[in-house]
Amino acid sequence: MIDKDTFCEQIRLHEKAMYYLAFSLVQNEADAADVIGEAILRAYKNIDGLKSEKAFKPWLLKIIHNTAVEYIRKNAKTSSSQEIDVAVENDIETKLTLWQTVKSLQQPYRTVTILYYYEDLSISEISKITDTTAVAVKQQLSRARKQLRELLKEDFVK
């Protein structure tokens, strides 16, 4: 069983992953914060259902995913988007273009792409989080890569 301190430590450890997933689904910083807050409360209330600390990240991201989907359904009429915060790194323009293109993908392609490439989750972990088979996740990633190639062709062909 996980104690209160370990729970808080795990939440801090996976803060970025929670944000990426929530933001990829709700497409708004304020909404992502709401989803994360609600999901953390749900996770804390249901911590007894977690068998081991190793399973914490997939378990938590599953809760984030479910909370975001529920949030989207409740707030479908009021959804809006904001600019993303991009870290200052080498070739920021390319990274920004790539991120915006990934954001423009339709669901479920956007979510699996972010989980796989930005969060380094395995196919198996993604399939658990999204309630789909590993084969479906592989197909979605393949289709997402194909769409990204087509969308980015214009930006990077000189």
Residue (of 112, 118, 115, 126) closest to 99 by Cα position? 118
Q: Is 50 exposed, middle or buried (0-12, 13-18, 19+ CB in 10 A)?
A: middle
In the block, tokens 């689904």 appear at 25
Total Cβ atoms within 10 A of residue 104: 12
Read off the pLDDT of each residue in 5-34 and give the average, rounded to a whole number. 90
Q: Note the pLDDT of residue 92.
A: 57
Q: What is the CATH number of domain 1-82?
A: 1.10.1740.10
* Model pTM score: 0.57
Is the pLDDT at 156 greater than 60? The verdict is: yes
Q: Thinking of the domain 85-158, which architecture would CATH place it in?
A: Orthogonal Bundle (1.10)
Domain layout of the chain by residue ranges: 1-82, 85-158
Read off the pLDDT of each residue in 35-56 and give the average, rounded to a whole number. 88
Question: Is the preceding omega at residue 58 within 30 degrees of 0, hence cis?
Answer: no
Provide the token pair at 42: 């749900």
Ramachandran angles phi, psi of 84, nearest 5°:
-85, 155
Is the pLDDT at 87 greater than 60? The verdict is: no
The whole-chain average pLDDT of the chain stands at: 82
How many residues appear in the chain?
A: 158
Give buried/exposed letters for 116-133 (b at 16+ CB in 10 A, else e).
beebebebebbbbbbeee
